[in-house]
Amino acid sequence: MATLRLPDVVPSPTQDSERLRVALQGWGVDQEVIIWILGHRKAVQRKKIKETYQQLFKESIIHCLQSTLSGVLGKAMSYWMEEPPERDAKLVEKTLKRGKAGITQLQVIVEIACASSPNHLMAVRQAYYSLFDCSLEEAITSKVSSSLQKVVHSLRYTKLVDLNVAKSEAAKLHEAIEKKQSDRDEVMWILSTRNFFQLRATFKHYKQNYQAIMSSGSDDLGSLLRVVILCIDAPEKHFAEVVEIYK
């Protein structure tokens, strides 16, 4: 996956804040400057900018971004300025508030669960409880159907991998997908009990022997499995497709 490239000399938070103020309140919003500055700063640097902007101008930069930028860009930039765990916790809550969530909504939760480090997931859980006075697991249980819960609840991140198990379970997944039985207990057991690295090895065996792992059915569960597989096996491909959709 691509890494965030920073300028050779990073301006101070005060300099960035002043440039952003001009870009947000000049004779027309300068979106290129806003994207260039915020798109080339790490999370810790964005946090400093947010604090400095508040100190200098007595106003939240997130509020300014939301009120000044429109559409997808405004939402993206305001979320980008949040603390990563709080941002993901709010995205999960927004998803779950829509009622009984289907694949379109659950995709956000799967992306967070499958493409994040164990430390980040723990921070998201803590942020969710702090913000909404409810555990993330309880929230998912109350809003998500039982079969889909098994996919989105939690992934294990131990690094033990058994290649024989990977080969065997790749065959079981292939059989279930061929018979369009993506909700069968065996498939759900594999996805909900195997660690991240074991699943990656299983998907690798599947790709080598059966190729079309993405043909896992068109129902909600089958669609969700495709997102899980992509986020674990090739997250850069999945997020490239997501970005393309919103261009």
Q: Domains of the chain, with CATH numbers?
A: 13-80 (1.10.220.10), 84-152 (1.10.220.10), 163-245 (1.10.220.10)
Q: Is the pLDDT of residue 228 over 90?
A: no
In whole angstroms, give the CA distance from residue 39 to residue 241: 19
The string of pLDDT tens digits covering residues 106-130 is 778 878 877 777 788 889 989 999 9
Q: Is the pLDDT of residue 153 over 60?
A: no
Q: Is the pLDDT of residue 1 over 50?
A: no
Q: Is the pLDDT of residue 72 over 80?
A: yes
Q: Evaluate the CA torsion angle 39, 238, 222, 193 in order and state its sign.
A: negative
**What is the average per-residue pLDDT within 127-143?**
87
C-alpha distances out from residue 90 to 49, 127, 149, 154, Å = 21, 9, 19, 18
In whole angstroms, give the CA distance from residue 46 to residue 124: 18
Q: What pTM, to 2 d.p., does this model score?
A: 0.67
